[in-house]
């Protein structure tokens, strides 16, 4: 037969109330949060823009057919987004005068320029942020943001109008600065992208 002391010891259990359990859980969560905060307090999250994707940009503008058939006739026959239009224009630069087509949105923003020879589109320039998906690198963003998107972008000067470009994956980013020698140059972080050509 068990002694009374043994039975009493076996029945001594710790009982907690629902309020005490909730307080313990809150303490645990606070401790976990404080540990996390200490570990990551010197780090901050920052948005990194996606790399420029020619196919996605053209699809966004409903010009995806230009991927396979880069002709003026394809451009002029494209089923554009509502409010967008293609207009012929003349662009004058210090390089000369060029016949181009422009893609203009419903707010009269010029989104893109299309340079052509005969029926072949030789160069497309995205000149407005509205021509690119929001999460993608685009005109108006800075060299700092470009540097976060691409691992090691290098800017080069040019003898042609002293333009400065960064070349990445078949895409040229024209930067808003000048340097008249074709050699790598350092850019300030706040130099903006003027346009993107491919």
- Find out whether 176 and 154 touch, Cβ atoms under 8 Å: no
Predicted local distance difference test score (pLDDT) of residue 94: 73
With a CB cutoff of 8 Å and minimum separation 6, the contacts of 38 are: none
| 54-197 classified as CATH 1.10.1060 | no
Backbone angles phi, psi at 38, to 5 degrees: -65, -40
Tokens of 6: 């043994």
For 14, the token pair is 């710790």
pLDDT confidence of residue 102? 97
Tokens of 25: 């859980």
List, in order, residues 6 or more apart from 122 with CB less than 8 Å away: 115, 116
Q: How far apart are CA 35 and CA 20, in angstroms?
A: 23
Torsion region of 84: left, alpha or beta (phi above 0 gives left; psi -120 to 50 gives alpha): beta
Phi, psi of 68 (to 5 degrees): -95, -25
Q: pLDDT 10s per residue in the chain (198 long)?
A: 555 554 444 555 555 555 555 666 656 666 766 665 565 555 666 789 999 999 999 999 999 999 999 999 999 999 999 999 999 999 988 778 899 999 999 999 999 999 999 999 999 999 999 999 999 999 999 999 999 999 899 999 998 789 999 999 999 999 999 998 999 999 999 999 999 999
What is the pTM for the complete model shown?
0.73
User: Contact 120/70 with Cβ under 8 angstroms?
Assistant: yes
For position 17, what pLDDT does the model report?
57
**Cβ pair 137, 124 in contact under 8 A:** no
One-character DSSP codes across 138-192: -TT-BHHHHHHHSSS--EE--SSTTEEEEEETTEEEEEEEE--SSSEE---TTPB
């Amino acid at each position: 037969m068990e002694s009374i002391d043994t039975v009493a010891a076996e029945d001594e259990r710790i009982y907690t109330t629902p309020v005490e359990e909730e307080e313990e859980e809150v303490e645990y969560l606070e401790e976990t949060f404080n540990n996390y905060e200490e570990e990551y307090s010197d780090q901050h999250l920052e948005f990194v823009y996606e790399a420029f994707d020619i196919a996605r940009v053209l699809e966004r503008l409903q010009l995806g057919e230009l991927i396979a058939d880069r002709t003026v006739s394809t451009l002029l026959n494209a089923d554009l987004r509502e409010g967008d239009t293609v207009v012929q224009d003349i662009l004058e630069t210090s390089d000369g005068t060029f016949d181009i087509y422009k893609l203009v949105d419903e707010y009269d923003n010029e989104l893109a320029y299309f340079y052509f020879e005969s029926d072949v589109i030789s160069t497309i320039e995205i000149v407005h942020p509205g021509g690119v998906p929001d999460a993608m690198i685009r005109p108006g963003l800075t060299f700092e943001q470009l540097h976060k998107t691409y691992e090691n972008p290098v800017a080069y000067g040019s003898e042609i109008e002293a333009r400065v470009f960064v070349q990445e994956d078949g895409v040229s980013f024209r930067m808003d600065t000048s340097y008249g020698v074709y050699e790598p140059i350092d850019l300030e972080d706040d130099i903006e992208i003027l346009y993107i050509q491919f």
